[in-house]
Chains A and B, each alone.
Chain A
Amino acid sequence: MSTLGKYNRSVSIIGVGCTPFMYTVDHPETDGLTEGELFGYAALKAMEDAGVNPRDVDFYFHGEASPLNGSNYLTPNVQVANWFGMKGKGSIHHSEACCTGYLAIEQAVNAVASGKYNCVLTGAVEFGDSTPSPADNVESPKHPYKRDKMTMEKFLKTTSWLYDRTYTRSLMAGQELIYDDAAEWYVRTRGITAEQMNDALNWMCINNRRNASVNPLSLEKRTYESLAEEAGMTLDEYMNSPYNPKMGDYLRAGGVELKCDGAAAAIVCATEMVPVIAKNLKHRPIQVLGIGSAACEATTPHFEVRATEEAVRQVYELTGMSGDDLDLFYANDFIITSHLVSAEIAGYLPYGEGWKYICDGRTAWDGDKPINTNGGRTSFGHAHAASGLADVYEACKQLWGECGEHQVKKQPKTAMLRGYGGAQNVAAVLLRTIDQQEV
C-alpha cells in the first residue's frame, strides 16, 4: 500500500499524435514501414499538435513491449531520435508490455513535475503483427526494412516471456488465468449467471466495434451488426455462433485483442511553462491529476482485480475524487472482460450493475457512460506498447471536443485510463482539462 504525494508542480499534456493501427505487411502502401517512420510520425504529429519545435523538447521516453523480437533492437530509443529532430537529446527506453503506453505518461509526468525538464516527449511503437525478416530467430542478420507476418502461434510463444520462469510457468495456472479469472470473479462476486456474463462479453465486443466503426484510425471497422447480416443471422445468433467461438471458459474470440502495428506519442509540459514553450498552442492543457500504480505477478490470485483496486485507491485518495467525477473511461481490454471489471472497480459503473449498462449499449461512444470510445483493443487494435498512448490520444481529443463523428454527446472534462499489462502492471491515470482561468 503506497500513499501518493502531490506533484511538485502541475504537469499537462499539450499535444498528441497517433498513427492508424494497422497490419503493415498486409498492404503495399504500408508494407516496409519501419520503427523510425512510425514513431517519428507520431512524435512529429504530437509536436505539431502542441505547437512546439523539437528543439523545445528536452528529453524523450520510448516504449516498446518486445524490442528484441519485434525490432531486433536492444536499445530502441537510440535508433529513432533523428527521425523527429531530437538527435543528441537524452532518452530512455522502457517496457511494461501492454501497460507501457500508460506508464509512459507516468514517467514523463514525474520527469517534469520534479523540475528536471520543462517539456518532454513520451512515445511508443510496436510491430505486434510482424517481425524483421527473416523471422527465423533473433540472431540471424535482418533486412533493413522488410518484415514477415508474425503468426498467432509464434506470438503466444513470446508471451510466455511475460511470466516468471522460476515458479509461475512451472505452476501453470498464473499465465492461463489471464483469459477468464476476471470473468469468474465477476460472476461469483456479483451473483450473475454464466449466460448473463456471456451477454456482457458479447456486448462489450459490439460496443467496441461500433466505436471503432466511426474512428478513422481504427483497425477493424466492420460492425457486428453488418457481419451478422452478411451471415444471415440475428446479432444474438451471430455472437453465439461459430463465427465467434468460445476460446476460454467464458471468453469468446471477439473478446481477444487484434494484435497489430502502430505508434502514438504525447507532449508533456510543465503547466506554468506552457505559454513560454508552446507558442502555437492549439488546445487547453490537460492536467495529469495523478497516477496510481500497482503490479501483481501472475501467481497472485485475481491479479488484475487486486492491482486495479490498489491503483484506483491511490489516485482517488490523492485527488479526493471518485467514480462520480469521471466523464470518460478507458480500459486496456486486450481481454475484453477488463472493460467491465475495471470500470466497476473505478466506480464509473455501479457495483454489480455494470454488465447491464454494457448490454443496454450505454457504454458505446454515443451512450451516457462511454468506455473505450476509440474501439479498444478488440477493434481499434493492439500495438502493444503503443496502445496506452493511443488511448491517451483518444482521451485528449475527446476532452478537446475534436473527435468529429464519434465525439461523445456530453462534453467531457475528466477521464480515467486504466492501464494493464505485462503480467501484470496496472496504472490508473486521471486527466482533467484545465479551465480557461487556470491557464
Chain B
Amino acid sequence: MMSIQLEKVVQTFYEGLEEGKILGRKCPLCGNVEFPPVYACNQCGNYETQWYEISGKAKLHSIVLPAALSSKPEYKNLGKYAYGEVELEEGSRLNAVVRGISKKNRKELSAKLPLNCHASIFQREGGYKTVVFDLDQEQ
C-alpha cells in the first residue's frame, strides 16, 4: 500500500544525474512515465508514482534551430544543437535540446522525421547536470 509522501523528488533527480542515472517516475496503475519526475500521474490522475530509470531511447518529432533570441552564451558548450519535441521510448513527450543538428543538415533531417535519438547527461554552468539528447548515428 503506497501513501502520499512529502519527498525530495527534484533533488533525487539531480543526484541521480550525478550518478549517471536518468530518473523518471512510473505510475503503478496505468504505467505512464512522468519525465521529468513529479508526484502524481498526469495520465490517469493517480496520486502516486514510483522511481523508474528511463532507457534513454527516444524519437525527435520537430526541429527548431537556435537564433539570436533563442540562445544564450552559455549554450555554446552544447556544440551544434536544435530544440524539438522528444518522445521517450516510455511514451512521455517533452521539449528538449537535441545535439547533432545544424543549418547544414537541417533540411535533410527534417525530411526524415521522426529521428532516433538518445538521452545524455550534460554539465550545466551553475554546478549541476541536466538531460539533453543526441541523434543516433543510425537512423
Contacts and interface: CB of A to CB of B under 8 A. Distances in A.
A213 B62 CA distance: 37
Given A166-B10, A184-B64, A185-B62, A171 B96 contact: yes
B44 to A, nearest CB: 13
A297 to B, nearest CB: 10
Contacts, number: 88
Interface string B117-139: 00000001000101110000000
Nearest to B106: A249
B94 A299 contact: yes
B21 interface: no
A177 B64 contact: yes
A177 B96 CA distance: 9
B83 A176 contact: yes
Contact of A171 (B68, B85, B95, B113): B95
Given A246-B68, A249-B70, A167 B97 contact: no
A182 to B, nearest CB: 10
Nearest to A251: B69
Contact of B69 (A167, A171, A185, A256): A256
Interface string B1-40: 0000000001001000000000000000000000010000
Interface string B59-87: 00111111111110001000000011100
Tier of interface size on chain B = 20 to 34
B84 A173 contact: yes
B66 to A, nearest CB: 7
B63 A184 contact: yes
B62 A188 contact: yes
B69 A177 contact: no
Contacts of A245: 68
Nearest to A166: B10
A173 B71 contact: no
A179 interface: yes
Interface of A: 166-167, 170-174, 176-177, 179-181, 184-185, 188, 245-249, 251, 256, 298-303
Given A177-B83, A301-B95, 19 more contacts: A167-B13, A167-B36, A170-B124, A171-B36, A176-B64, A177-B64, A177-B95, A180-B70, A181-B64, A184-B63, A184-B64, A246-B68, A248-B69, A249-B65, A249-B70, A251-B67, A256-B69, A301-B61, A301-B85
Interface of B: 10, 13, 36, 61-71, 75, 83-85, 93-97, 110, 113, 124, 128, 130-132
7 contacts: A167-B36, A173-B84, A176-B71, A181-B64, A249-B66, A298-B95, A301-B61
